[in-house]
Amino acid sequence: MPSSQPLISTTPVPPPRIAAGTMTPEATVPTPGRIDLQLPSEMPRDDDWLFALCQANRALRIERTSQGDLEIMSPTGAETGARNSELNRHVGNWAAADGRGRVFDSSTGFLLPNGAMRSPDLAWVQRVRLAELSAPQKRQFLPLAPDALIELASPSDAPETLHAKMREWRDNGVRLGWLILPEQRQVWRYTPEAEPVCLDHPAELRDEDLLPGLAVPLGGIWETGL
């Protein structure tokens, strides 16, 4: 999971008078410690505005908290990116054979009931739920919580922040969540009906109830280097 930068409040500030795809004149001069965003044209700061904002700033990973603040995530390092790619490969291969759902990577946003928009490192959603969405809904952030997901910690991530995010996922309808901490060689399993369970140095990820037949090997996740 990329590390987040300080929050940018979106609630009390009136919509700026900036055309879509343009930047303020000051933004042409780089300033250390500053993040410049291309802002959509004047429109209500709703889910459509957030989607337009993310489309105009594709180099950034942006999430929205339940309070309406924006979190800007930096790109991951190479080791984390390789680990995430491996997880997507294994789960994607299983999902293609299983046929009941679709896998989404970390670039996919999900609109949660509490008002947040979050992007897990990997998500799985049943096709029967996706079939209930309209075509326009499928082209933007999905207005639902994934059935299952994985969050993968980066070296700079604070575990307590990741656990808070996992609780948010669980409380908003996610049936199964795995938090992978490579440095600790731990996997935390989150489900709605039980307290989180810590697995020390597990060999693979499995859940025969929700994801029968899935077995994600974790040997490569625990290794360091490329």
Average pLDDT over residues 118-142: 97
Q: Answer yes or no: do 104 and 168 share one domain.
A: yes
- Say if residue 87 is in the same domain as residue 71: no
In the DSSP assignment, the letter for residue 2 is: P
CATH number at residue 130: 3.90.1570.10
Query: Which of 75, 102, 128 is the C-terminal boundary of a domain?
Result: 75
pLDDT in tens, 47-90: 998 999 898 888 788 999 998 888 888 788 899 999 999 999 99
Domain that holds residue 59: 1-75
Same domain assignment for residues 32 and 103: no
Is 115 in the same domain as 166? Answer: yes
Last residue of a domain, one of 75, 104, 120: 75
Number of domains in the chain: 2
Q: What is the pLDDT of residues 162-186, one digit of tens each?
A: 999 999 999 999 999 999 999 999 9
Q: How far is CA 105 from CA 150, 152, 183, in A?
A: 10, 12, 22
According to the model, what pLDDT value does residue 59 have? 79
Residue 21 has pLDDT above 80, yes or no: no
DSSP 10: -
55 and 105 together in one domain: no
What is the average pLDDT score of the chain? 86
> How many of the other CB atoms lie within 10 Å of CB of 161?
13
How many whole angstroms separate alpha carbon 1 and alpha carbon 106?
8
Do 71 and 159 fall within a single domain? no
Q: Which residue has the higher pLDDT, 189 or 224?
A: 189
Please give the model's pTM, rounded to 2 decimal places. 0.82
Q: 113 and 207: one domain? A: yes
Same domain, 130 and 199: yes
pLDDT of residue 9 exceeding 50: no
Q: Of 50, 75, 100, which residue constitutes the final position of a domain?
A: 75
Residue-level pLDDT at 189: 98
Query: What CA–CA distance (Å, rounded) separates 150 from 141?
Result: 18
70 and 82 assigned to the same domain? no
Tell me, yes or no, whether 84 and 126 share the same domain: yes
Q: What is the pLDDT of residue 29?
A: 44
The secondary structure of 110-155 as a DSSP string is EE-TTS-EE--SEEEEEHHHHTTS-HHHHHSSBSS--SEEEEE--T
Which residue has better confidence, 22 or 205? Answer: 205
75 versus 207: which is more confidently predicted? Answer: 207
pLDDT at 225: 78
Q: Do 10 and 90 belong to one domain?
A: no
